[in-house]
Amino acid sequence: MVLAVLKQKAGGDVILTEYKDKTSLSSETRRLLVNILVGHMVEMHGRIPTKNKKEQYALGIVTLFPSFKDPFSKKGYVNQDFKLLFDAETASKLLERWDTTFKQKIISEAMSLTSTPAVCSLLRSAKNETDSQDSKRALKISAVDAASRILVHHKSCNSIEEHLRQRKGRQPYLLAVGGSPRQIDQYYIALDQKLIPCQAGGSLSAFDELFKIHFCFNLMYDDALLHFFTFMQTTVYKIDIGKTKESPRVKELRAKLIN
């Protein structure tokens, strides 16, 4: 089915030829592939295709392009879709490089910021240290507001449906469900008042999926988090460096961490 679609649509021959020659596709060609197939799926099955239809297309892609198959997942989900847009090396950059390349450098950079209860609390969390009682008086400053747009803790005993109804905004975020912030049972990506279970159990892996879902669903970054996500995109994942508009601060921080 996927082969038939590509043979009919403009640009499909480019995709087939490139894969035949290189056994892989460039970022631009992968995006063309996804755009063609998503367009065909919507054309044939409506704006909201069923889960079975989506899986049918995904199976067709990895059957026709076997190098895209995710060996660690039967159906792929976010990671497989992200690999279709980019590649396995790009998809693994955060988990492979965070502890060894970025974590300590970012903590050191954060320590140069103006010390406030909120900043101190975030630093203790980054270093896996227990918060002191003083952190309960943390002020609502931009750092806290930004963090709350990425990760929200939800107590297991409370209604998730009620939380989703009350949450404003359309940008995706992580919902950590558990008895306390340090005892999380499951991470979800909340999007359009729906929950997508994260495959991994850790917070870093959950954020990895949150970042990738922006590309899989062609979502804009939250306006308040634009510079943060742009930093992650260009510095950590190395996606569209030089093509993506970066603020001077993002460029400066990237240079510091990489050099």
pLDDT digits (tens, 9 = 90+) for 29-44: 888 888 898 888 888 8
Band of pLDDT at residue 174, cut at 50, 70 and 90: very high
Mean pLDDT of the chain: 81
pLDDT digits (tens, 9 = 90+) for 100-148: 888 888 888 888 888 787 778 788 877 766 544 443 333 333 677 888 8
What's the CA gap between 104 and 9, in Å, rounded? 48
Q: Residue 233, SS3? A: helix
Contacts of 146 (CB under 8 A, 6+ apart): 224, 225, 228
What's the CA gap between 74 and 223, in Å, rounded? 35
pLDDT exceeds cutoff 50 at 186: yes
Answer yes or no: are the C-beta atoms of 254 and 235 closer than 8 Å: yes
Band of pLDDT at residue 6, cut at 50, 70 and 90: very high
Least confident span in 3-7, 56-60, 118-122: 118-122
Least confident span in 7-11, 51-55, 67-71: 67-71
Residue 246 corresponds to which tokens in the numbers above? 């970066």
Q: Average of pLDDT values for 13-30?
A: 85
pLDDT digits (tens, 9 = 90+) for 60-102: 888 888 776 654 444 445 666 676 667 778 888 888 888 888 8
* pLDDT at residue 104 in the model: 87
Q: Residue 137, SS3? A: helix
Q: Average of pLDDT values for 140-159?
A: 78
Kind plus residue range of the DSSP H or E element containing 155: strand 151-155
110 or 4: which leads in pLDDT: 4
* pLDDT at residue 142 in the model: 62
**For 117, left (φ over 0), alpha (ψ -120 to 50), or beta?**
alpha
Task: List the strands of the sheet with 173-180, edge to edge.
Answer: 151-155, 173-180, 183-191, 194-197
* pLDDT at residue 69 in the model: 61
Q: Average of pLDDT values for 160-181?
A: 85
Q: Average of pLDDT values for 158-164?
A: 83
